[in-house]
Structure 1
């Protein structure tokens, strides 16, 4: 074996002396005055990476330095994982030097360090292992690359294998540890000064989401390019619309992030600037965004009031290892007379969820079948609507007549309520992040989740089930349109600066970085990027299913008054929640909903 020791196996083994190399680099950085030195390795299950971590810990003990666990990270050996790690923690932990065991990892860390301004400020030294030989390379990005003689290792391995094959019975297995060739001991770094920032910051009111946190991580790049400082403020989904409405009096924010069903209401209440001229001047057309998404998220009556910032429909995630387990397959087929496979209908979904709920099936390796974000109207309705649509039901028909009191609606609602038997009882208070956490922590077997919240699924630092997850279209193939927009506040005095932010947020290059961090994008270019598809393999699926996503829209009353869809959905939420908590039954819920929504529509 080369570079990866298999414990307990009597075999030939060749590797480099990673322990000595890390020890030397740490000593070199220590003499330069560095005390907050970070180490980023590949998977800790690899013996080479374990040796690096051991050397790091031993060095700190020798120097009587505290070992700060948050400065040691083991990740998948991909550029994208490294970028996401760097963007998440470099600014927060602020190491002064960082050693990476892979040039691939270094590439992602370098991008993160540049975009967060740490390299430009000369605040961070980056060093990585490479290939071929040890040497020092000076770059304009404050990065030194140290390299290993891989060809030498390969030649020694080939020679050892030849000797072993020529005398297989008498040959004694060998353990060869090679020293690195270090040609240069000097490490130098270049400087780059960030442009002066303006005195008045641009204030953003954003949904507390991976997308918004990506903006926060990358905001130094925007300030570097424009000189405009950002002050983002995060708000939960349940109160964001209320905050936007309150701001019409307070006039605190310059930019709002809004859910697409809110647009009609925000325009009616005169909350947003008309961006039609801006959209056409900057060529924000169908070639930039997914087809028709600009209209679906930003347009009201042929005028534009916002631009798409997020497209993340619902996906079915499931534990591939559990679905492929022979014993579980046999048990499921015996019980249901069907194969255990990703569900294509909600009836199948409910059956599989029950099968993986331990209170129903003691043999289940997980505690619950799934989770539901039922804690508030804004998260509850997207869980409900795909089921109703799959059963041919809806709140209104094409002529805007209320169609709740129908057999289709009853079947859809019954299916929805049934699934709560396969969930943690606390889901009645869950938000989206809590459903994702249950799945990441191995508590549930399946999850219907938004693409924008699942980017960490294969992040071994965040997920306990990395590498064991598969994905598919949701049952019924009808996701809600999971898309959010950015609009400029009508009352802002910083319109020009706000427009600069919209251009930056919609730039194809920045969209690539956002996609690495949060797993989605409203821009076309992301879905043809092979590197991103390798990192987020669900991207082709959400692109393919875009046309089947359904938008929830407001309606108008008989006298022409706008009835916000949020008002209608609040009634749905309250009445169905009453049924789930035992305060009504299915028939009472349906009858009450029909009357209440008709009253809203007609008054």
Structure 2
């Protein structure tokens, strides 16, 4: 096995230099870094992470002690814990207890403490049981520990869910549905969560006429215990404390007993982002539990080192996949017109669920950007569309012309706004104080970058040697262009990628959007302090120059649409890309070359352009109630979260607490922060006038394309754009 000494000899440097390079320390030149890394690859050296962890010790390590189980709730917990810890610079070790063996827990505890983990999260198999005192003896220090799900009797810090309330809700469900004979299946009641669930259920249902058969089990004996129920005494329903047990019940009953008429199973469950129909689930967000546990450990083991006692997280409960759906007596087809985008095809797939529940067929009509704008302009009383998907920038122009105020259909529609992200109702729903739509797929421009390039010791050092400043994600477009040039091979032959950045310039509307990203990094809104739009101002000229300077740093055939931009960045041949968040799905495709190396940050100037759209009811629809029902259903949390997992975006706050979605698309946490920050208003709010975004972008985009193509100078192009603007718009408000 190669050693640091071998690397130093081959690279012709000191051993200390090799150590500094491997650990990211020291003031080492880019040439020496290159020689060391070449030697590492040539010798096949593998950095010993475990040894490094022992050297680093407790300063940056957390541990998880958990059952050796494939149970989804434990997988979710560990995923949430690990992602949060790693995002805060901590490594995570996992130590398995092999289910109900306290000896394994004691060994895992010793191993975690030997590694000097700063904090330990423990899903204990001993806490609260007869074996507790043998594992957590008086000399065992638990000040650096937090117990999860199973509450210890000795009062250590504990985080879990309210299983008693879950049991109570399950018991009420049994009564509400009129069951007279049910099976209550729990784990061992020596665990606090199982005992709490049992107590809550029996308090709600056990003292009524409902006959409750209780079975205790565990992962090793679940099949034997479930088989106690014979076909002759099959209960009307099962109420179960553990999703894994529920799966076993379904398997056994479908295999050994006649359950062709269906089997009613209600179970506590981790959150499922995608719909599935096997069980009725009372959901608990175990990914969030993992995140909260890691967060609590970092605070608990910080400078204050104070415990917090017991903490119960709010459960997601019975999430309603079919909220707001109206089932009409005589269903008619709903016609929906939408822009060609990733969410359009997701909507088309999800509409089958709506049809299955409501009986209403949904006809999703998908148009290009230019086609849908023309369709809106031609729409009149003879049009058959019921639901319109409007781009957020078109809402001001078309709302009063094409949409029915939603308060005319439901006077209490604003009550649903509390479910939406901060900043979205104002931009995606209201026009001149009236509610015309609901936010469906809000998105925002985000700066994506190749994290591996920005964190590479070689390129960081090379950049510093050339510019005497650190290589970090750009905060201004001046920095953006400098970094783009550094990572363009034609300018810098040492660049590992061919181009520094993507540019999206297909239509005039798209080109205008690319320009506005630069303009809004310099000024808050389109208009100035006097309420005027000046496309030929010094700031406007600077913004256009910043865009055209990028031409030398990107491919000659620029991207025509945002899907092209996403695919280009995913190819791995670009260092940076500016893209609307709802188009970033291809970054994670199986053909992507950037998976695991995607960095993301706020747009330069922290005033990103928003995108995406809203769903409104056509003023010409003959079934506005059904149209609004479909819109509210599409914009509800379970549907929006599931759509986000497939690559769409969500207007709902709770989606951004869904760590399955957030782990897949971590930049969504940034987009959530962007909506309250972004300005970019076209005209002052007090003007009370519609704004023709399409006409404006045509004027602006033509100036951008003329300049980018060297047909006009920036001054000439923007001077002409200002003249066109004054001809078609009232430029002072």
- Return the TM-score normalized by structure 1: 0.65
The C-alpha deviation readout for 1:118-148, integer Å capped at 9, x for no partner, is: xxxxxxxxxxxxx9799899999xxx999xx
Residue 390 (structure 2) aligned to one of 243, 255, 258: 258
Tell me which moved more, 547-556 or 193-202: 193-202
Find the residue that maps to 1:258 and give its secondary structure: strand
Quick one: distance in 1 between partners of 2:730 and 2:355?
A: 50
8 Å Cα contact 1:391-1:411 kept in structure 2: no
Q: Would the alpha carbon gap of residues 513 and 582 (structure 1) be closer, same or farther in structure 2, given more than 3 Å must change?
A: same
Quick one: distance in 2 between partners of 1:225 and 1:199?
A: 12
Match of 1:39 in 2: none
Q: Would the alpha carbon gap of residues 602 and 516 (structure 1) be closer, same or farther in structure 2, given more than 3 Å must change?
A: closer
Matched, 1:517 2:646: yes
Matched, 1:472 2:604: no
Matched, 1:295 2:426: yes
Match of 2:637 in 1: 508
Match of 1:204 in 2: 336
Match of 1:247 in 2: 379
Root-mean-square deviation (CA), in Å? 3.8
Q: CA deviation at 1:601?
A: 2.8
The C-alpha deviation readout for 1:470-529, integer Å capped at 9, x for no partner, is: 111111111112241111111122222211101211212212112212252111221233
Match of 1:222 in 2: 354
Residue 547 (structure 1) aligned to one of 647, 651, 676: 676
The C-alpha deviation readout for 1:230-254, integer Å capped at 9, x for no partner, is: 1111122233222222232651321
Match of 1:304 in 2: 435
Q: Would the alpha carbon gap of residues 512 and 326 (structure 1) be closer, same or farther in structure 2, given more than 3 Å must change?
A: same
Q: Would the alpha carbon gap of residues 499 and 366 (structure 1) be closer, same or farther in structure 2, given more than 3 Å must change?
A: same
8 Å Cα contact 1:371-1:424 kept in structure 2: yes
* 1:147-226 equivalences in 2 (<5 Å): 200-226=332-358
Q: CA deviation at 1:554?
A: 5.6
Q: CA deviation at 1:377?
A: 2.9
Find the residue that maps to 1:476 and give its secondary structure: coil
8 Å Cα contact 2:343-2:648 kept in structure 1: no
Matched, 1:600 2:731: no
8 Å Cα contact 1:197-1:229 kept in structure 2: no
Q: CA deviation at 1:362?
A: 2.2
Q: Would the alpha carbon gap of residues 557 and 302 (structure 1) be closer, same or farther in structure 2, given more than 3 Å must change?
A: closer
Matched, 1:579 2:707: yes
Quick one: distance in 1 between partners of 2:221 and 2:328?
A: 41
Q: Would the alpha carbon gap of residues 561 and 525 (structure 1) be closer, same or farther in structure 2, given more than 3 Å must change?
A: closer
Find the residue that maps to 1:491 and give its secondary structure: coil
Q: Would the alpha carbon gap of residues 282 and 590 (structure 1) be closer, same or farther in structure 2, given more than 3 Å must change?
A: closer
The C-alpha deviation readout for 1:397-421, integer Å capped at 9, x for no partner, is: 2443232222211111111111122
Find the residue that maps to 2:646 and give its secondary structure: helix
Q: Would the alpha carbon gap of residues 444 and 197 (structure 1) be closer, same or farther in structure 2, given more than 3 Å must change?
A: farther
* 1:309-348 equivalences in 2 (<5 Å): 309-348=440-479
Q: CA deviation at 1:562?
A: 4.9
Quick one: distance in 1 between partners of 2:260 and 2:502?
A: 50
Find the residue that maps to 2:494 and give its secondary structure: coil
Residue 442 (structure 1) aligned to one of 572, 580, 604: 572
Quick one: distance in 1 between partners of 2:455 and 2:618?
A: 51
The C-alpha deviation readout for 1:76-131, integer Å capped at 9, x for no partner, is: x999x9xxxxxxxxxxxxxxxxxxxxxxxxxxxxxxxxxxxxxxxxxxxxxxxxx9
The C-alpha deviation readout for 1:403-449, integer Å capped at 9, x for no partner, is: 2222211111111111122111211x610000000011112111111
Q: Would the alpha carbon gap of residues 185 and 286 (structure 1) be closer, same or farther in structure 2, given more than 3 Å must change?
A: closer
Quick one: distance in 1 between partners of 2:517 and 2:220?
A: 54
Residue 413 (structure 1) aligned to one of 539, 544, 547: 544
Quick one: distance in 2 between partners of 1:513 and 1:446?
A: 28
Q: Would the alpha carbon gap of residues 419 and 519 (structure 1) be closer, same or farther in structure 2, given more than 3 Å must change?
A: same
Quick one: distance in 1 between partners of 2:395 and 2:610?
A: 13
Instruction: From the CA coordinates, give the structure whose radius of gyration is larger.
Output: 2
Unaligned 5+ residue runs, structure 1?
A: 1-7, 10-76, 82-130, 147-181
Match of 1:357 in 2: 488
Quick one: distance in 1 between partners of 2:252 and 2:635?
A: 45
- Return the TM-score normalized by structure 2: 0.54
Find the residue that maps to 2:695 and give its secondary structure: helix
Tell me which moved more, 337-346 or 277-286: 277-286
Match of 2:194 in 1: none
* 1:100-115 equivalences in 2 (<5 Å): none
Unaligned 5+ residue runs, structure 2?
A: 1-43, 46-74, 80-218, 228-236, 246-250, 263-276, 278-321
Quick one: distance in 2 between partners of 1:421 and 1:133?
A: 67
Q: CA deviation at 1:198?
A: 6.6
Match of 1:433 in 2: 563
Match of 1:567 in 2: 695
Match of 1:368 in 2: 499
Quick one: distance in 2 between partners of 1:495 and 1:185?
A: 43
Matched, 1:451 2:543: no
Quick one: distance in 2 between partners of 1:399 and 1:517?
A: 44
Quick one: distance in 1 between partners of 2:534 and 2:329?
A: 55
